[in-house]
Amino acid sequence: MTEEKTKSKNFTSILIPTSLYKKLEEKVKETEFSSVSSLVTHIIREYLAKLEEEKEVFSEEEEEEIKERLRALGYID
């Protein structure tokens, strides 16, 4: 498989306002990222990770539930 084909299979394009793109183009110079694309990929990954992390925080009620389970297991008193 050629480089090109691999690329087209693993990447896709999204549309963002040109003004925003210009801003990012400036910003990218101050970062370790080599292009706007890799900076945007990073931002999106961070965003998705944050969403997942928020889902993982326990509510008071859920914390009580897990305490119940640990009690039943004999792990806590």
Binding site for another protein (CB under 8 A): 45, 48-49, 51-53, 55-58, 62-63, 66-67, 69-70, 72-77
**How many residues comprise the chain?**
77
Whether 24 and 40 have beta carbons less than 8 Å apart is answered as: yes
Q: Quick one: 14 or 57, whose CB is closer to another protein? A: 57
Q: At its nearest, how many Å lie between another protein and the CB of residue 22? A: 28
Q: At its nearest, how many Å lie between another protein and the CB of residue 60? A: 11
HSE-CB of 28 using CA atoms within 13 angstroms:
17
CA distance 37 to 32: 13
Q: At its nearest, how many Å lie between another protein and the CB of residue 75? A: 5
